[in-house]
Amino acid sequence: MNNTFNYQNNELFCEGVNLSAIANKIGTPTYVYSKMGMLESYREFENAFSPLNKMVCYSVKANSNISVIKLFSDTGAGIDCNSRGELFRALKSGVNSSKIIFTGVGKTEEEIRYALENNVMMLKVESFQELETINRIANEMQLVAPIAIRLNPDVDAKTHPYISTGLAENKFGIDINEGQKAFQFATSLSNLKVVGVDMHIGSQITSPLPYVDAIKKLFSFINELSKIGISIDHCDIGGGFGIDYDEEKNIDISIFAKELLPLLQQFSGKIIFEPGRFLTANSGVLLTKVLYTKSNNKKDFVIVDSAMNDFIRPTLYNAQHEIKHLKQSDKNKVTVDLVGPVCESSDFIRKNYSLPICSQKDLLAIMSVGAYGFVMSSNYNSRRRAAEVLVDGNNFKIIRNRESFEDLINGEII
Ligand X SMILES: *Cc1c(COP(=O)(O)O)cnc(C)c1O
φ, ψ for residue 291 (rounded to 5)?
-90, -50
Task: Note whether 103 binds ligand X by CB under 6 A.
Answer: yes
Task: Note whether 4 binds ligand X by CB under 6 A.
Answer: no
Percent helix / strand / coil, the chain, rounded to 5:
35, 30, 40
Compute CA distances 155 → 22, 59, 159, 167, 212, whole Å.
Answer: 44, 21, 11, 5, 10
Interface with ligand X in residues 64-83 (CB under 6 A): 80
CB of 85 to ligand X, least distance (A): 14
Nearest to 327 by CA among 368, 285, 362: 362
Question: Please, are residues 196 and 101 in contact by the beta-carbon 8 Å criterion?
Answer: no
Instruction: Work out whether strand 243-244 and strand 249-250 pair parallel, antiparallel, or are unpaired.
Output: antiparallel
Angstrom distance (rounded) from CA 54 to CA 21: 41
Task: Note whether 239 binds ligand X by CB under 6 A.
Answer: yes
Q: Which is nearer to ligand X, 61 or 289 (CB)?
A: 61
Task: Note whether 210 binds ligand X by CB under 6 A.
Answer: no
Among positions 1, 26, 61, 284, the unique one binding ligand X when judged by CB under 6 A: 61
Q: Which is nearer to ligand X, 78 or 239 (CB)?
A: 239
- H or E, element range at 375: none
Among positions 32, 62, 287, 339, the unique one binding ligand X when judged by CB under 6 A: 62
CB of 139 to ligand X, least distance (A): 26
Q: Which is nearer to ligand X, 61 or 385 (CB)?
A: 61
- Binding span for ligand X by CB under 6 A among 69-77, 247-255, 268-276, 319-327: 268-276
Q: Which is nearer to ligand X, 22 or 371 (CB)?
A: 371
Among positions 241, 245, 348, 353, the unique one binding ligand X when judged by CB under 6 A: 241
- H or E, element range at 28: none
Dihedral through CA 61, CA 62, CA 68, CA 72, nearest 10? -90
Task: Note whether 238 binds ligand X by CB under 6 A.
Answer: yes
Positive or negative, the CA dihedral 352, 356, 360, 362 is: negative
Q: Where are the beta strands (DSSP E) in 86-221?
A: 100-102, 122-125, 145-152, 174-175, 192-198
CA angle 214, 218, 222 (to 5 degrees): 170
DSSP state of 225: H
Task: Note whether 277 binds ligand X by CB under 6 A.
Answer: yes
Instruction: For 265-302, give the DSSP string.
Output: TT-SSEEEE--SHHHHGGGEEEEEEEEEEEE-SS-EEE
- Binding span for ligand X by CB under 6 A among 274-282, 295-303, 312-320, 340-348: 274-282
Interface with ligand X in residues 290-349 (CB under 6 A): none
Q: Which is nearer to ligand X, 163 or 334 (CB)?
A: 163
Is 343 among the residues known to form the active site?
yes
Interface with ligand X in residues 369-398 (CB under 6 A): 371
CB of 39 to ligand X, least distance (A): 17
CB of 103 to ligand X, least distance (A): 5
Instruction: Work out whether strand 54-59 and strand 78-81 pair parallel, antiparallel, or are unpaired.
Output: parallel
Interface with ligand X in residues 164-203 (CB under 6 A): 200, 203
- Binding span for ligand X by CB under 6 A among 83-91, 129-137, 233-241, 319-327: 233-241
- Binding span for ligand X by CB under 6 A among 28-36, 87-95, 263-271, 273-281: 273-281
Interface ranges with ligand X (CB under 6 A) = 59, 61-62, 80, 103, 200, 203, 238-241, 274-278, 371
Residues marked active site are found at: 343
